[in-house]
Amino acid sequence: MADAAETGTDAEVLYTVTGRVATLTLNRPDKMNAWTPRMEAEFRAAMERAVADEAVRAIMVTGAGRGFCAGADMGRLTPAAPGEAKPAPAAARDYTPDNFGQRYSWLLDVPKPIVAAINGAAAGVGLCITLYCDLRYMVEDAKLTTAFARRGLIAEHGSAWILPRLIGPMAAADLLLSGRVLTGREAAALGLVRALPAEGFVEAVHAVAAELADLSSPRSMRIIKRQLYAGLFQDLATATHLADSEQVKCFATEDFREGVAHFVERRAPAFTGR
């Protein structure tokens, strides 16, 4: 598929498709891509568009300009007057017990791999978005911070749940309690990201997403993602039983037959996702 621009430049999230990879670009560069309700709505719509497009097999998320996402637009975070309580946001009022139905955890349920290309500063909700992506790459000198504790806030959007599962309890406590700033290199040492040089960064991360899209079975990736994240709520016996059940189903699929054929014939795969 040829490169195709899919949204106008006035959008807060740009959507483009190159080959089998859809790229979602947070697009408020003059505000370091600070998060807004409009951006959130466009981000979800663009993600749903990528999921619905059978030609798209992997998704990359990045930011326009110098930053990835500097967190929530601070202009919208005005404190209440003394003695005045601000109304709770809809996300706080509308509780659902669905682990994959929380405000950003739905990204874990997207059936295609999501690769975060953290091209610049990531803070607060901007960092939270990346925690729900499958792979995270970051410019080695770029900076990230949870920021919450330094704004009088708490660990938002399930970050206190997912961050320890990504980097361990003590490292997560360090980042959340201190709100300190890390470089991409430091984040890589914690296992939170993989750091890359700034030069050619987006192209390098796109190549990672393209390799997934071109060489891995869409069906396999969809099921493996489900295993990875459903497994966070399962015991080993349950996870193993479900893996055994899914393995049996694989043997009757087109992608299994193609997986064997392309290996034996020493050629590139032509997976259908079926």
- Domain locations in the chain? 4-78+86-214, 216-265
Query: What does the pLDDT look like over 170-188, one tens digit per residue?
Result: 999 999 999 999 999 999 9
Domain 4-78+86-214 sits in CATH 3.90.226.10:
yes
Least confidently predicted of 67-81, 108-122, 224-238? 67-81
Question: Does position 130 have pLDDT exceeding 80, yes or no?
Answer: yes
What pLDDT does residue 25 have? 98
Q: What is the mean pLDDT of residues 121-147?
A: 97
What pLDDT does residue 94 have? 75
- pTM comes to 0.90
What pLDDT does residue 75 have? 73
Collect contacts of 223-231 with beta carbons under 8 A, ≥24 apart. Answer: 225/108, 225/110, 225/111, 225/112, 225/113, 225/134, 226/111, 228/134, 229/100, 229/108, 229/109
Say what the alpha-carbon torsion angle 206, 203, 188, 233 is, to the nearest 10 degrees.
-10
Higher pLDDT, 75 or 34: 34
Query: What does the pLDDT look like over 239-263, one tens digit per residue?
Result: 999 999 999 999 999 999 999 999 9
Complete DSSP assignment for 29-60: GGGTT-B-HHHHHHHHHHHHHHHH-TT--EEE
Closest CA to 212 of 118, 133, 119: 133
- Residue 90: pLDDT band (50, 70, 90) is low
Q: Where do we find the tokens 């959130």?
A: 40
Q: What is the mean pLDDT of residues 80-88?
A: 52
d(CA 4, CA 6): 6
